[in-house]
Structure 1
Amino acid sequence: MLDEIKEALNNLIKSRIFVLGVAFVVLFGILLQRVFYLQIVKGGDYQESFSLKTEREVSVASTRGNIYDRNGELLAYSELSYSVTIQDNGTYASKTKNPKLNDTIYRLIQLIEKNGDSVVSDLGIVYNNGHYEYSLEGNSLLRLKADVYGKTKISELEPKQELASADELMAYLCGEKKYDIRSSYTEEEQEKYGISASGYTPEEQLKIATIRFGISANNYKRYVATTVASDVSDETVAAVLENQSELQGAEIAESSRRVYPDSKYFAPIIGYIGKASQDELDSLQEENPDYELNDIVGKAGIEQYMETELQGTKGYEKMYVDSVGRILEMSEQKDAVPGNDVYLTIDKELQMACYNILEQKLAGILISKIENTKEYNPGPNPSASKIMIPIYDVYYALINNYIIDITHFNADDATDLEKSVYSRFQIKLQNTVDSLIAELNSDNAVAYQNLSKEMKNYMSYIVANVLMGDSQVLMKDAVDTSDATYVAWTTDETISLREYLQYAISKNWIDVTKISGDNPYLDSAEIYQSVLDYIRDSLLEDAEFGKMLYKYMLLSDQVSGREICLLLYDQNVLEYDEDTVSKLNSGALSSYSFMLDKIRNLELTPAQLALEPCSGGIVVVDTKTGQTLACVTYPSYDNNRLTNVMDSDYYNSLRKDLSSPFVNRVTQENLAPGSTFKPITAIAGLEEGVITPSTTIYASGVFTEITPSPTCWIFNQYGGHHGNETVTTAIRDSCNVFFYEVGYRLAGGRSASGYNVEAGLTKLEKYARMFGLGDKSGLEISEYEPRISDTDAVRSAIGQGTNSYSLSHIARYVATLANRGNCYDLTLLDKLTETDGTLIQEYEPALHNQVQIADSSWNAVQQGMRLVAENTKSLNVLSDLGLNVAGKTGTAQQSKSHPNHALFVGFAPYESPEIAIAVRIANGYTSANCAEVGADVFKYYFNLADEAEIVSGTASGSTGQTIGD
């Protein structure tokens, strides 16, 4: 038996199956051993280092092209800078990502700000006076809300999301469902999450949320960095690199910084650049699919219009990244191609001179109108030309337009004067609010019309701002504007605010949910008391209401003009001058004289004061080519602070600025043209045959063919009349009655067909369109549509009716008058070149229209415009130039409580025009002021005086003469 077993084993060992089995056993053992080693012995290590190696491509931004003036003077360029970036490339345990990432960003921000640099603030939200506020509006704001709430389209927003306040949006961003940016952490939570911060202030929450929002835009491309700060100092670069090991994902990256030399002169033309919005990206990708969400693109002006040419061609870097987006190795790289250079038609030196000339004139007008009184008394016969500016309005303007920062009065580093003023303000605030609530509680509340002017303003503010502002406690949509009680409050002013609010409660115009807290079941008396409580609490915290109080503190001498002057030094608005401060304190220098001196020397500018006037525009056009040589709007802004990564605080200050620096006074301010329209009426009359160059019309001062009968300016001012006028002398004298008659005849008056308003308007429109007034001017920046009058043919003939044009429209029209018929589309573009100067494209103004009229019509109108400059006594600034000039003044009335808008158009030399100019000063009192600006522009362009004499840096004198037009 044993032998049989041995033999069987022998045979088995010798068989091939045995050999195979042994081999399988050995191999299986090796496999088991390797599996044990990989999974048990080294499993933890491999789990930590496991990565999915994937190839990715990252775009490399190109250097943006330069912008030059017509003479090759640099207006915009890019220079090398360094940025701090961060990538979301860390690995986090469950529920620790938000606190750890927020803490990293916080420490990075602290490091940046410690070295004097600022982090990005382009979320579209700012923090002011204890609340968050939007720095965006309109469609841009809705786009932000859609992005925050994760909606692809604005239309997908829920009503509550669409109406979300800035505080509510920030609460969502900082909440657990989003970024979990808490105001406080317990010590246990700090230890649990491994973070250093015990919590974040509202300002810090905003900064962190801004960075987190930028990171979330790249959550599907974690290898793409998000910018934390741009153009940082060498100290910040060194600090970040030194602490890089402790700041997960933080890097220093090379970037380019856009620079605008002499920015205030060109900002409204050139614009600025910034991170593309979703709407901008969608539009740009239609033209070039290479655009990405983090791209820096033109946001306004030429930067926006020429975006695709200036942008250049991107390069790329191909790399391998792991499963969490970390870069493993680079595989391929291609350099970017710089953008092309753009040359403008603008003459840099002329542009700057025009801006300074305009600012000097505005300051001169203000000085001529400021009087040493507390309030202006218009008297029984108010006149827009006689409006004066009390010096106390100047004092208050410095507070009203945020030049003096009243929020700093209670700061830790406030001066003794600031603290003293703030203490008085607190008393005024409490007393005023108590008085208002007492009045609203009184059974004998006074009707609005019987209140003092101060109390009227407070009551109006309560309704318009506190109750019907953003809160909508008094619901605008619910109010019945035809209701008798509403009319009694708003129009008749015969009831008190107490009566009006109690009535509003009875009509359910009050949104009780906004004021009742947790108890919606209140009777009318309880609702009214809740409304009063809401008013009291709101007014005590309302910064705008507080600002209003300072006006009445000034008028009641609770704050003096001298103190306002000294506050300018305390807050470094003016450079400290010991001698001047000493004189102010001793009384040797009055606050009135001080203010006039600072305005005269432009240490306080018209833009800062934001009084009327504080704005204007100048356009200079080459009459032979149609190129725009100067396109000036005042006031302007510093586009360096808006470019690349926007300074939201600065942007918000510009939005609040009462001088409206974002409004381009050349292209975005449509006003009546006044008498500058009369040459078109003259041409219409001549070409339609209702008058001839020799036709004489007797101008009596009143045009009696229509009712009510319009009058001439000479009748209104002096009770006089012009007598016999031809078309040429009527242009010289700006005779309203002559042009009323022409408009009347164009409408069929004095003919068999009879007077027909529509017929007259149609003919006026025909000739207005011939001179380009029916379309935009062609300038490559944002421009309003013009409006040709569609009512009252007689009044429309002198530029009234509903005629409304921007200065750019008027500039094209006068250039067409000057060159006798070539109506060009204005342009700012001269040529496009590669970076080495190779010409790509040369831009030529397109001929919009060719005006074909008789030489006799041209002669009559141009001779009349020549007489304006030559023979109008109040325009000796034009006749004494030593240059033959043709021109036309114009005045457009806004109301009797605001100064008139002033205009001047002209061209020179008269014999062979080279340039045409258009000048407008909103609320500029008299067109003589604009004519003086025009004269200085002619002087500068034709070298008729020393530049230092023209651009003196001080206010230019104002004649104060009123021209009849």
Structure 2
Amino acid sequence: MNILRIQKEGATVNLFKRIINNIKDFVNEHILSRTLVLVITILAIFAIITSRLFVLQIVEGANYLENFTLTIKREITIAGTRGKIYDRNGELLAYNELSYDVTIEDNGTYSTRKEKNEAINKTISDLIDIVEKNGDKVVSDFNIGVDEGGNYKFLVDGTKLLRFLADIFGHKYTDDLKYNEDLGYDEAKASAKDVVKYLSSSAIYGISDKYDKVKTIKIITVRFALAQNAYQKYISTTVANQVSDATVAAVMEHIDELVGVNIEENTIRKYNDSVCLSSILGYTGVISDEEMEKLNKDEKKYDSTDIVGKAGIEQVMDSYLQGSKGSETLYVDNVGKVIKEADFVPSSSGNDVYLTIDKDLQAKVYKMIEEQLAGIICSKLINVKNYNVENVAKASEIKIPMDDVYFALINNNIIDINHFTANDASENEKAILSAYEVAKAAAVSNLTGIINDSSGSKPYNTYTKEIQAYCDYIQTSLNAAGVIVTSNFKDDETFDKWTKGNISLYEFLSYAISSGNLDSTQIETSVKYSDSAEVYQSLVEYITKHIFESDGFSKIVYDYMIKNDAISDSQLCLILFDQGIIQDTGSEAESLSNGSVSAYNFMYNKIKTLVITPAMLALDPCSASCVVTDVNSGEVLAMVSYPGYDNNRLANTVDANYYSALTKDKSLPLFNHATQEKTAPGSTYKMITATAGLTEGYVTTGTTFTCTGIFNAISPPAKCWKYPSAHGALNVSQAIQHSCNYYFNELGYMFGQSNGSYDSDLGLSVLKKYASMYGLNAKSGVEIPESDPEISDKDSVRSAIGQGSNNYTTVQLARYVTTVANSGTCYNLSLLDKVTDSEGNTIEDFTPAVYNTLDEVNASTWDAIHTGMHAVIGDLDAFKNTTTDAAGKTGTAEEVSTRGNHALFVSYAPYDSPQIALATRIPYGYSSGNAAEIGSEVIRYYFKEEGYENIIDGMANSSGQVVGD
């Protein structure tokens, strides 16, 4: 029993031992292994993360969400205030004015593009309604508008149009424009309608057709501007600037429902005496991609929203005028709303620029020019129609027929012919439109018959003047469009017959096709060309669609309606009242209607009183320029280009319609007539020839030549302006006084003498040497853009009297006469006086540099030249009432025989101790006496002669003198 018990106990012990050993093995194998430790660690970490997420998302979720939105940080720059521009006397010319702008940001949240487009378009539409309801205008700098007929139209053309199209289709360069397979047309040839359709599509702005065309353009304008800042949603886009308090209040009242809309303070650029100074000051605007690329070439200073100078001094001195930018850190929420502002660094004002210009003198000279031009026009007006200028023997005898004046109202877009189709067109407008439609239909019918006359039985020279005008327009339009480029017909016999009028229009067009000189890619057609007949038919369709429906064609129709009395003169005059161009001061309109006042007398009076200005008519003469300098420093006191433009309407945000009108204005207001227009100098050049002759020893001050009226040493002979009469024997001073061509022809011939024979090139080299000494081989030095001068390179005999190929700007002639006035110091002229900081401290002083000194010219030569110029003044009617003793020289230059000669005058005063010099030019101004009138008034005003206050009276100048040369 004991043994059995002992055995049982031993078995139990062994069992326990085995269990214990098994437990030990399990623990060693599993509990103490690295795998288990890793699992436990992972479980612990998971538990911690779960706990932390619970705290972050559930317990503190709202607080952390708020903190998160504050971490969206934006760094913005703050533009500096642009510096001011002053004249030489401290008179303010350009400054900044506080204004309120209505702006919008693309900061909404949307689920789909469609939802976004609908919401933004509605907001913009509502905003436009609010702005316009309160009498303000939305920004209109998009280059598409709507004409009175309800059609989309481009407001720019040429290279500006191509640049615009490149921007529309997302290209950096205009050369990237291509045929767009998706759109089905060449991007470079897209019509205004095509562009609007493209931008209005659901893929772009999704603009509903519920908006009319005018509203559609306004919405596109804002959307396009927003797109430029798509990568910076917190940058605002201006919808309307300079708005009234009423608009501000109305917008703020609806601000909660206008997502992204705000009222912002801004500064706008403003100009005093804007029109007369526009050619000098220029204007400002938003930087373009090309400008930004150029200005940031060396260092990135400009952003896409920066305002920079676009022309004139504003552009040239932009780096001085630009203020230093500030910066600020913005914290915004996820829709772009500003939550917090920090790290504000203020911007600083730009430097101020002082010009050498005298503002009052500039403004007065501008009016002097306008009154003189009006006086010339009034003196040339005749109450006839169908005037043939080709029958006039002398340019000075050319007249201005009244039908040209009436047509000018249409041709220069003073009368808006597109308004004739408007719903609110007047009865006069409707009547003229009805007559026009009849006249146009007849013209198109006649031309269609001519274009399709394959017999060629009626050549061009058998057509009426009216039909010839239409045919000429067809040819020039095809050439301008690149369809038939006439320059390709070099030495072509058939084209020569066409230019001489010996073949028909059909023959010319057919020949252009058969000779391979028609670019069929320019013709919009679906025809797959197989023969010339199909090509010709496509060309006819192009002419019908594009040329017959153009404004240019319509204007020819109106021109001949006026000539043929299909429109009454009184009707046209009455439309000036209907369209608000002229305000009826009493019963003028009634007097015109009942015939108690003739249309001729009405128009004559309006031109005389400058209600209708020379610039508006754009008839010869309609432009002029005058530059006045300080002869002892080279500073420019006045530099007037007439006509000017209102740069207030181009600064900041361009008024696209106004800019479009300026580009189409035939008086060229955007063209600086003082620095860019070149003509021959005429007899104003003769002091150069005199200097050369006296200094090189060809003549002395006592040498005389006997003028016979014609210089026969060359062929064809050169005639003196006095021919068939003659001046007789003259010395150099007398030759300058009487402007004897013969005397200076003789000198030009002598300059070319070599071994007993005449070499024109040799003579030209002498003239070039002295023209260069007077600075006529280079630009004048003024800081704004200027055309290059052209020293004559042909015919030294005629070049010696300012003809040949001599071509100079007015400012270049001003530098030349300044050098004459001070007897030999040729300055680089300057418009800039100094630059100061905002505290008035001078940063930079601009003193005109001396370009050249005529040291080899002796005193006797200067005396002879001054004596001759002094005597010129004594012979001029313009100076009969001028008490300041002066010297001067007249000049005329003929460009074409069917237009008046260019009138020029250079002068300086006082004669004994010169202070100022001036140069004046009136393109197609008939006689140099007309330019001298302006010169005498400038001198009378500058030296404050008795009665100088009455020089300008708002009336056409009735004075004038026909001067020989």
TM norm structure 1: 0.90
What's the secondary structure of 1:713's corresponding residue? coil
Letter in 1 for 2:900: P
Instruction: Could you tell me which runs of 5 or more consecutive residues in structure 1 were left unpaired when the two chains were aligned.
Output: 185-197
- Cross-structure match for 1:949: 950
Deviation at 1:540, TM superposition (A): 5.2
Are 1:476 and 2:485 an aligned pair?
yes
Alpha-carbon distance in structure 1 between the residues aligned to 2:315 and 2:375: 36
Letter in 1 for 2:717: S
Letter in 1 for 2:781: G
What's the secondary structure of 2:113's corresponding residue? coil
Alpha-carbon distance in structure 1 between the residues aligned to 2:327 and 2:457: 74
Are 1:85 and 2:103 an aligned pair?
yes
- Cross-structure match for 2:199: 174
Determine which of 100, 119, 126 is the counterpart of 1:100.
119
Deviation at 1:730, TM superposition (A): 0.4
Alpha-carbon distance in structure 1 between the residues aligned to 2:492 and 2:672: 40
Alpha-carbon distance in structure 1 between the residues aligned to 2:407 and 2:693: 50
Report 1:406-555 matches (<5 A). 406-442=417-453, 443=455, 445-465=457-477, 467-470=478-481, 472=482, 474-476=483-485, 480-489=489-498, 491-510=499-518, 517-521=525-529, 523-539=531-547, 541-555=549-563
Deviation at 1:299, TM superposition (A): 0.5
8 Å contact kept, 2:390–2:898 = no
CA deviation map 1:904-949 (0-9, x unaligned): 1011110001111111100000001111111111111111132442
Report 1:509-658 matches (<5 A). 509-510=517-518, 517-521=525-529, 523-539=531-547, 541-658=549-666
Report 1:857-896 matches (<5 A). 857-870=861-874, 872=875, 875-896=876-897
8 Å contact kept, 2:177–2:188 = no
Deviation at 1:286, TM superposition (A): 4.2
What's the secondary structure of 1:117's corresponding residue? coil
8 Å contact kept, 2:527–2:538 = no
Alpha-carbon distance in structure 1 between the residues aligned to 2:419 and 2:176: 42
- Cross-structure match for 2:959: 958
Deviation at 1:483, TM superposition (A): 3.6
- Cross-structure match for 1:769: 772
What's the secondary structure of 2:238's corresponding residue? strand
Evaluate the alpha carbon distance shift between residue 480 and residue 824 of structure 1 in structure 2; reply closer, same or farther with a 3 A threshold.
closer
- Cross-structure match for 2:266: 255
8 Å contact kept, 1:174–1:205 = no
Alpha-carbon distance in structure 1 between the residues aligned to 2:60 and 2:458: 88
Alpha-carbon distance in structure 2 between the residues aligned to 1:909 and 1:889: 17
- Cross-structure match for 2:170: 150
> Which range moves more in the overlay, 768-777 or 236-245?
236-245
What's the secondary structure of 1:916's corresponding residue? strand
- Cross-structure match for 2:399: 388
Alpha-carbon distance in structure 2 between the residues aligned to 1:537 and 1:758: 53
Evaluate the alpha carbon distance shift between residue 46 and residue 530 of structure 1 in structure 2; reply closer, same or farther with a 3 A threshold.
farther
Alpha-carbon distance in structure 1 between the residues aligned to 2:861 and 2:519: 65
- Cross-structure match for 2:386: 375
- Cross-structure match for 1:163: 188
CA deviation map 1:599-623 (0-9, x unaligned): 1110100000100000001111111
8 Å contact kept, 1:879–1:885 = no
Instruction: Could you tell me which runs of 5 or more consecutive residues in structure 2 were left unpaired when the two chains were aligned.
Output: 1-11, 181-185
Alpha-carbon distance in structure 2 between the residues aligned to 1:511 and 1:52: 62
Report 1:25-40 matches (<5 A). 32=50
Letter in 1 for 2:576: L
Deviation at 1:21, TM superposition (A): 11
Determine which of 379, 404, 415 is the counterpart of 2:415.
404
CA deviation map 1:651-670 (0-9, x unaligned): 00000001010111110101
Evaluate the alpha carbon distance shift between residue 166 and residue 436 of structure 1 in structure 2; reply closer, same or farther with a 3 A threshold.
closer
What's the secondary structure of 2:587's corresponding residue? helix
Report 1:230-309 matches (<5 A). 230-286=241-297, 289-309=300-320
Letter in 1 for 2:963: I
Determine which of 109, 112, 118 is the counterpart of 2:131.
112
What's the secondary structure of 2:473's corresponding residue? helix
8 Å contact kept, 2:892–2:902 = yes
Evaluate the alpha carbon distance shift between residue 411 and residue 143 of structure 1 in structure 2; reply closer, same or farther with a 3 A threshold.
closer
Determine which of 746, 750, 756 is the counterpart of 1:741.
746
Alpha-carbon distance in structure 2 between the residues aligned to 1:37 and 1:110: 51
Alpha-carbon distance in structure 2 between the residues aligned to 1:218 and 1:516: 36
What's the secondary structure of 1:848's corresponding residue? strand
What's the secondary structure of 1:163's corresponding residue? helix
What's the secondary structure of 2:73's corresponding residue? strand
CA deviation map 1:576-609 (0-9, x unaligned): 2332222212222111111111111101000001
Deviation at 1:484, TM superposition (A): 2.9
Deviation at 1:841, TM superposition (A): 2.4
Alpha-carbon distance in structure 1 between the residues aligned to 2:543 and 2:427: 32
What's the RMSD between the two structures over aligned residues?
Answer: 3.2
8 Å contact kept, 2:708–2:727 = yes
Report 1:179-190 matches (<5 A). 179-182=204-207, 184=209
Higher alpha-carbon Rg = 2
Evaluate the alpha carbon distance shift between residue 43 and residue 477 of structure 1 in structure 2; reply closer, same or farther with a 3 A threshold.
farther
Evaluate the alpha carbon distance shift between residue 285 and residue 601 of structure 1 in structure 2; reply closer, same or farther with a 3 A threshold.
same
8 Å contact kept, 2:117–2:207 = no
8 Å contact kept, 2:152–2:193 = no
8 Å contact kept, 1:125–1:166 = no
Evaluate the alpha carbon distance shift between residue 63 and residue 514 of structure 1 in structure 2; reply closer, same or farther with a 3 A threshold.
closer
What's the secondary structure of 2:375's corresponding residue? helix
> Which range moves more in the overlay, 38-47 or 631-640?
38-47
CA deviation map 1:462-514 (0-9, x unaligned): 2322x4443x4x3428954444332222x221111122223334445445566
Alpha-carbon distance in structure 2 between the residues aligned to 1:454 and 1:639: 39
Report the number of matched residues: 930
Deviation at 1:788, TM superposition (A): 0.5
8 Å contact kept, 1:264–1:636 = yes
8 Å contact kept, 1:384–1:898 = yes
CA deviation map 1:791-834 (0-9, x unaligned): 11111100011100000000010011001111111111112222
Are 1:721 and 2:739 an aligned pair?
no
> Which range moves more in the overlay, 240-249 or 818-827?
240-249
Evaluate the alpha carbon distance shift between residue 951 and residue 56 of structure 1 in structure 2; reply closer, same or farther with a 3 A threshold.
same
8 Å contact kept, 1:626–1:824 = yes
Alpha-carbon distance in structure 1 between the residues aligned to 2:302 and 2:774: 40
- Cross-structure match for 1:192: none
> Which range moves more in the overlay, 875-884 or 649-658?
875-884
Deviation at 1:215, TM superposition (A): 2.3
Evaluate the alpha carbon distance shift between residue 451 and residue 921 of structure 1 in structure 2; reply closer, same or farther with a 3 A threshold.
same
Alpha-carbon distance in structure 2 between the residues aligned to 1:452 and 1:492: 15
- Cross-structure match for 1:213: 224
What's the secondary structure of 1:77's corresponding residue? strand
What's the secondary structure of 2:264's corresponding residue? strand
Alpha-carbon distance in structure 2 between the residues aligned to 1:173 and 1:381: 55
8 Å contact kept, 2:527–2:534 = no
8 Å contact kept, 2:70–2:331 = no
> Which range moves more in the overlay, 832-841 or 582-591?
832-841
CA deviation map 1:425-477 (0-9, x unaligned): 11222222122213333446521011110010012222322x4443x4x3428
8 Å contact kept, 1:170–1:206 = no
Determine which of 667, 670, 675 is the counterpart of 1:662.
670
8 Å contact kept, 1:148–1:173 = no
Are 1:856 and 2:860 an aligned pair?
yes
Alpha-carbon distance in structure 2 between the residues aligned to 1:19 and 1:669: 94
- Cross-structure match for 2:914: 913
TM norm structure 2: 0.90
Alpha-carbon distance in structure 2 between the residues aligned to 1:47 and 1:835: 46
Deviation at 1:114, TM superposition (A): 2.8
Determine which of 839, 844, 851 is the counterpart of 1:841.
844
